[in-house]
Every structure is written in structure tokens, then in C-alpha cells.
Structure 1
Amino acid sequence: MNTLQKASLTLLSTSILATLGTHASANAIHEALSNSTAYADINLRYESVEQDNALNDGSALTLRTWIGFSTGSVNGFSVTAEVEDSRIVMGEDDFSVGPTGFNVGEYSVIADPETTELDQAYLQYKNDNFTARVGRQVITLDDHRFVGHVAWRQDKQTFDAVSAKYAVNKDLEFFYSYLYKRNRIFAEAADLDSKDHIVHATYKSDIGKFVAYAYLLEVDNNTENALDTYGVSYDGKTKTDSVSWAYGGEFATQSSESGTGESATDFDASYLNAYVAATVSGITAKVDYEVLGSDDGLYGFATPLATLHKFNGFSDLFLATPQQGLQDLKFSLTGKLAGGKWLLAYHDFSADESTPGVDDLGTEINAQYTKKFAGKYRFGIKYANYDAQDIKVDTNRFWMWIGTRF
């Protein structure tokens, strides 16, 4: 989005709120402004990457800043605006960001471009059980597997959208959004105009949470294309005298259509996830099996709106599902230490539908420790080691960060 479009979106939100003022008392406007809140979030992060290929090792030191403002409410209406800035610090810029053209082909990728963007700017209406937003906004659903904000990267993902959430009661909730632009993590270089429909329903019961969804995605680029996904999921918990259990599963089907005439493609694939976790004396052991299916080794199940870094290994080598699909058997341990949280995980990757020479997709080890200190500060350290087999290359990634919010 260019500067003029950014200014127009901000002006639109401000104008709508001003229009509301013509129908509300001066006292109500004053009260809304008096109840406004401002916030800032700062994150300084070092990231390095070593890969067994011709690229030079990558390293980056970047500082990301969010500055935001939300007004109080006037007859249920309010406005939120947020600006995001990411800068390279101390000249530590030995990395590439392909979509932006930064150091392409020289270094391994670290997807944190320098940018200053209008991150959010939306008008909201809210009452007891209904919330609607119009404008640029963060949208996250469930565990971010299909729709997320990718806030792990310094430039998080937002959407230009109209969204609505309706809670029928404390147990049943519906969400719908029409996305007309995907503001992705590469500054503005890879943003996409779209015609996406997000439909999501959640039901909470005594035996667990049930979710049903339809994600009907279309890139608005003057070509015929559609990526339609329908799915259901379940998450449950139970507890015995000494063990707390968590378990669940998810299944989805997907169709991908692109092009017309003889060049048209039409693929179908499915998604499966099942997990079980046990917590004993503060330590949680979890087994998670995920399958992003394939269509005869020619197409892999896709989740283009997801917070992909959360899944299939911290090394980010499977952000795009291989044509052969992906099976990920994951074992993890989590717990607390010295006031912080630690994680150890092991991934065993394989193809869902093998093709000649592509079957074993390697293994990965992940480790992480995070801690909050002095009230408002956070610290983290993270490591990923990927051992390649039939595809990809051996990769080591390391992160260390410190941040605060006020």
C-alpha cells in the first residue's frame, strides 16, 4: 500500500469517528477520548543462519517498534491505529530478503526487511455479544494453523478486511471476514490483493471444543484461481490424580484451481492432525502427528494465511509444503525453569506421497527458552538444527531477543 492509500485509510477511520460525533453528545466524545489508550512494543532480535549450500551465512540484528492508539467507545464505536517500523541495527545486514530484492543470492534468508508501515487502522463496533471491524486489522483463529498474524517476524501479517464476530451464548460463537488485501511479512513487496472469505464457528461443551470452518481464498490478480478449504477440529482435556491430559484432532479437505483452458490445474489434498499430551509435575510431554497431504506427488496442501513458523520446525524449511506433501511426527517436552519456560522438540519429516528420489525429508531438533523479567521485559533464546535427506539442505538457525511493551 502506497503512502496515499495509507493516508486515505487513516483519514477514513478518523472521518467516520468524527461523523459519529455529530450524533453523540460532546460529553460522550470527550469521555471516549479521555478513555483512549496508547501503547508501544519494542523487540530487538539477533538471528543467524548457516546452510550447507553456496550462500554465505546470514546474520541480522533488527529492531522492531509498534506504536498504537485506541480511542474509547462512542455508542459502541471506536478507532484503533498502529504503525510498525523495523530497522537494521549496527549495520548487521548480512542476510537476504528475496521479495524485497535485498541482497538476493548473497546470503541465507532472514525474512525481516526494513520497513515502516501502517500496521492496523480499523473502525470497530462492539456491544455485549457482537463485534465488527472494518479496515486494516490482525486476524487470528485457533492455533494460527490456517489464519494468523506471523508476529514472530519483525513485520507481522495483517489484513485489509471487514470482519464480524457474534457470540450466541458463552458456548457458541461465529466469525466471518472478507479479506480484500493480505499485508504479508515482506514490507509491501509481496502484499496481495484478494477476495478471501473466512467462515469459522466454535462450540464449547463439557467434553471439549469443536470447530468448523471454511476458508475460501482467491488472489485478485485477473486470473482464474481458487483455494478452498473445509475442515473440523476437536480439542479436549481431562485430569487424573497425577496426570493432566490434552488430546485432539483435525481434518480438512482442500481444492486448488488455477488458470483456464489447457493450462488449467485442479488439485485436491487433505489435512490431518492428531495429538496427545500428558503433564506430570509441571513437565508436559506431547506427541503430535500432522499430515499435509498430496495429490499424486504433484501438489501439497497449502495454508498461505498461517503463522507458519509455529509448525513443521523452527528452521522454516517447510513454509511451503512440498509437492509430495509432508508428514511431520513431532515429540516435544515443555516445562518451567528459573522463572521462565523451556521447550525441546524433535521432528521426523517424510513425504505423504513419495516420488522417485523424494521420500525421507529429514529431521529437526528445536530448543527454546523464554522469560519475563522486571515486570515488563521479555527475553528469549532459540535454536533449530535441520538434518537434510532427500531434499533441502542442512541448516542451523539461532535467535536471541529482548523486548518490552508499555
Structure 2
Amino acid sequence: MKPILLSAAALAVAGPACAQSIALNPLVDLRTRYESVDQTGVADKAEALTLRLRGGLQASSGPWSVLVEGQGTLAAVNHYFDGLHVDAAHPLVADPQTIALYRAQLQYRSKALTITAGRQRIVLDDERFVGAVNFRDNGQTFDAVRAEITPIAGLKADVSYAWSDRTIWGIDGVGARQQAVSGRNILANLSYGTKLGTITAFAYLIDQDETLVQAYQLSSQSYGVRFTGAHALSKHAKLSYQASYATQSDYHRNPNEYRADYYLIDATLDAYGWKAGGGYEVLGADKGVALTSFQTPLATGFKFQGWADKFLTTPPNGVRDLYGSLGYGWKAIGPAKGVTVQAVYHRFDSDRLGQHYGNEIDLLATAKLGKHTQLSVRYADYRATTFLTDTRKLWLQADWAL
């Protein structure tokens, strides 16, 4: 906590305190989730019923605010491998029990400048490179200083220096799955909005400076560009689109010497309640050696390449994901508001050697009850051809947030 307090103190003396009244806002976030995993090659099916509570307080005065938030995860049913305590009979459910400080930050916010110091969430773009991993109970935060600068309308610079990545593994994290991974991480992007969309140039220097975390082999430098936009076709139809390219190479203590590319193209048509989309995402390979393919260790990996989580670490030969989705939404069905259903299909292939890894079907239904409650049912079915094994996952989840 010493680096957090020092950075917060430095920010506090950067300007005069505002002589205004202090507004207090409580933070409450409750989640209960049932997750089952049936995986070929593992003796028993995993079953996890977890309860997650985040609670804290934000105090604000003028442009200044202080936020402190803790979190705890309890496994009411723990017939699963939590990633830390050896359990060869059950598949992995990455929600170990924990209790910890989730966020502790000091922030200054004005129209042109926001500076945040301390333990904080950092979410950049679509979370493909840096995210909060909010699907997992324990989430991901950073001990960091972040500056968001908007000198003119439409132009924004977002730069963070993070010296610790607080992982999803909680207080018992150990070995390759540590509670926190230290390193000198620099996360920067520069974006500009146009009539057609927003173009962003980014540089992510990720320093996984722990010998037990893949012997430094996840340290990388990625440089790229991203374009996102949307266009109204009519009163009832909208086309959204995105494209991205990046190149990655070894960084800092990484003993490997490699270069791999990333690219994405994606489009979604939203019309009369229907939503249809598709895309092609590639995390490239170099020479087919482990951990010399394009890696994204700080991403919210669950959002990409299927919910069965088979590709959180990119295989040595890379991965190509061709996907399509179809969904429909209702404004209300009885007491339920914002009801949506969605189906997604993925075909996974290697980036080199022409291997077909497998296919996956993902299904999702969500609904809101009142202002604070959201319910969801989610299912993933990965059918392996040459990579890993068949896996089926089911989630029943309820979230309540103040």
C-alpha cells in the first residue's frame, strides 16, 4: 500500500483543495452465480455457487474525490478447481474465495483533465488489451497513476503508469497465478473522433516482471491502431463497425525474441429489435514456439474467442476466430425490462500450419428487474477438433448494484 499512498499524496498537493461541501456516495455491488463445467478428460463435473460482495464509499468535493472499495468472494458450493488449490477431479472455475481491497483511489476531474492515483480499474477501448475482467468475481485492478487529457473537443490522450496488476486470483494467489504481478507497465492511447468514427493509436508496454509468471515470457510491447464507428441507415436501423491492427514483440526481461501481428474486422447491423453481426479476429504466431504468439495477459479475455475460455493464452501457432452472431431484444416482457437473447458461433483455426482447432456455440439471455437487478443465463459449448477437449459451461447469474 505504500506506493498507493505516496502517489495519492503527490496528487493531493498538485492543486488546492476545494472549499465545497462533501458528497458521500455508497457503493454496493452484489452478485450470486452458479457455474457448471463439463469437460472431457476430467473425472467430475465442476459446480460452483459463489457469492460476491463489493462495498465502499466515494467522497466528492468539487473536482476532487476519494474512493475506497473492498470485495469478498465466498463459495457456498465449491465442487470445483479454483486454480489455486489442487483438485484434479474437477474442471477450473476461476473464482477462488478471497477478501481484499478492490479499489483505493484519489481523483481530480475537470473538463480537460482527469488524474487518478491509487488502486483503480483501467478499461481501455474494448478491453482487448487492458480491461477489468469484470465477469470473474474478483476482477482486475491496477496500482497506477492515470492521466486522461482532452485538450480540444474530439481529441483525447489516455496514459497510465501501473506498477502492479492485481489479478483475479485473490489473496491466496501463488506461483503463475499470483495475487499481484509487479512491473513497469505503460498503457497509452491517443484518440480522435470524426464524423465517420473514432481513430485510436495505442502503445501498450506490458511488463510481467515476475519469474514465476511464465519466466517473464508474457512481457511484450504492442503498437497499433483502431477505428470504430456507427452509421444510422434509417430511423430503425444502424450499422456499427470496427477494425484494428497491432504488432507485438518481446519487451523488458522476456527471453524470447519474436514478432506477431493482430488484426480484427467486425460489423453489426441493428434493426427493428434484431441484431446480426460477424467478424474475423487473428492473434498471429511467429515460429510456433510457446508464448511467441500474440498475447494479451491484461485483457478481459472472456469477452473474446468464446466463453469457454479455451484461448486465454494464445496457442504457439496463433488463433484465427471467424464468428457470427444473431440476437433479438424486447423493451419489456411483463416485469422484465431490456430482455435480450443472443447466439454466437465461432470457428477457430491456427494462424500457421492450417490447423482447425474446433468450433463453439455461445448462448445468452439477459433481463433487468427494476433499477438495480440484472439476471442472465449463459451457455458455452466448445467442440474440439485438434486443440484441447470438448467443454460445456452453464451460468445462472443475478447482479444487484446500488
Q: 1:55 to 1:229 in 2, by over 3 A?
A: farther
Looking at structure 2, the residues matched to 10 and 229 of structure 1 have their Cα atoms a distance apart, in angstroms, of 27
CA contact (8 A) 1:258 1:266 kept: no
Looking at structure 1, the residues matched to 216 and 377 of structure 2 have their Cα atoms a distance apart, in angstroms, of 44
Q: 1:117 to 1:67 in 2, by over 3 A?
A: same
Q: 1:332 to 1:123 in 2, by over 3 A?
A: same
Q: CA deviation at 1:114?
A: 0.5
Q: Which amino acid aligns with 2:50?
A: T
CA contact (8 A) 1:64 1:87 kept: yes
TM-score by length of 2: 0.89
Q: Which amino acid aligns with 1:331?
A: G
How big is each residue's C-alpha offset from its partner over 1:180-203, in whole Å with a ceiling of 9 and x where there is no partner? 000010103112011100111111
Is 1:237 aligned with 2:230?
yes
Q: Which amino acid aligns with 2:341?
A: W
Show the counterpart of 2:38: 50
Q: 1:10 to 1:71 in 2, by over 3 A?
A: farther
Q: Which amino acid aligns with 2:366?
A: T
Looking at structure 2, the residues matched to 139 and 201 of structure 1 have their Cα atoms a distance apart, in angstroms, of 15
Is 1:131 aligned with 2:131?
no
Q: CA deviation at 1:168?
A: 1.6
Identity of aligned residues (%): 31
Is 1:283 aligned with 2:274?
yes
Q: 1:259 to 1:228 in 2, by over 3 A?
A: closer
Looking at structure 2, the residues matched to 373 and 224 of structure 1 have their Cα atoms a distance apart, in angstroms, of 46
Match of 1:269 among 260, 263, 285: 260
Structure 1 stretches of 5 or more lacking a match? none
TM-score by length of 1: 0.89
Looking at structure 2, the residues matched to 79 and 256 of structure 1 have their Cα atoms a distance apart, in angstroms, of 37
Show the counterpart of 1:310: 303
Q: 1:385 to 1:224 in 2, by over 3 A?
A: closer
Looking at structure 2, the residues matched to 346 and 56 of structure 1 have their Cα atoms a distance apart, in angstroms, of 27
Looking at structure 2, the residues matched to 217 and 10 of structure 1 have their Cα atoms a distance apart, in angstroms, of 20
Show the counterpart of 1:336: 329
Q: 1:154 to 1:141 in 2, by over 3 A?
A: same
Looking at structure 2, the residues matched to 401 and 207 of structure 1 have their Cα atoms a distance apart, in angstroms, of 37
SS at match of 2:107: strand
Looking at structure 1, the residues matched to 141 and 381 of structure 2 have their Cα atoms a distance apart, in angstroms, of 29
Q: CA deviation at 1:220?
A: 2.6
Show the counterpart of 2:148: 165
Show the counterpart of 1:249: 243
CA contact (8 A) 2:324 2:345 kept: yes
SS at match of 1:84: strand
CA contact (8 A) 2:149 2:157 kept: yes
CA contact (8 A) 1:368 1:381 kept: yes
Q: CA deviation at 1:207?
A: 1.1
Show the counterpart of 1:96: 81
Q: CA deviation at 1:14?
A: 8.8
Looking at structure 1, the residues matched to 360 and 216 of structure 2 have their Cα atoms a distance apart, in angstroms, of 38
Show the counterpart of 1:324: 317
Q: 1:210 to 1:10 in 2, by over 3 A?
A: closer
How big is each residue's C-alpha offset from its partner over 1:324-379, in whole Å with a ceiling of 9 and x where there is no partner? 00000000012214331111100000000127xxx111000000011110331111
Q: Which amino acid aligns with 1:121?
A: A
How big is each residue's C-alpha offset from its partner over 1:233-288, in whole Å with a ceiling of 9 and x where there is no partner? 1112223246421222100000025758xxx4201000010012222221111011
Aligned-residue CA RMSD (Å): 2.3
SS at match of 1:50: strand
Could you tell which deviates more after superposition, 366-375 or 331-340?
331-340
Q: 1:224 to 1:303 in 2, by over 3 A?
A: closer
Q: CA deviation at 1:106?
A: 2.6
Show the counterpart of 1:377: 373
Looking at structure 2, the residues matched to 9 and 83 of structure 1 have their Cα atoms a distance apart, in angstroms, of 18
Q: 1:231 to 1:55 in 2, by over 3 A?
A: farther
Is 1:197 aligned with 2:186?
yes
CA contact (8 A) 1:95 1:103 kept: no
Match of 2:360 among 356, 364, 373: 364
Looking at structure 2, the residues matched to 177 and 375 of structure 1 have their Cα atoms a distance apart, in angstroms, of 33
Q: CA deviation at 1:11?
A: 6.6
Match of 2:69 among 60, 69, 82: 82
Q: 1:386 to 1:128 in 2, by over 3 A?
A: same
Q: Which amino acid aligns with 1:276?
A: A
CA contact (8 A) 2:4 2:143 kept: no
* Superposition pairs of residues 173-188 of structure 1, within 5 angstroms: 173-188=156-171
SS at match of 2:381: strand
SS at match of 2:341: strand
Structure 2 stretches of 5 or more lacking a match? none
Show the counterpart of 1:153: 136
Q: CA deviation at 1:55?
A: 3.7
Aligned length: 382
Show the counterpart of 2:400: 404
Show the counterpart of 1:69: 57
Q: Which amino acid aligns with 2:49?
A: L
Q: 1:11 to 1:217 in 2, by over 3 A?
A: closer
How big is each residue's C-alpha offset from its partner over 1:133-180, in whole Å with a ceiling of 9 and x where there is no partner? 111000001111111000100000000001100012230100100010
CA contact (8 A) 2:4 2:119 kept: no
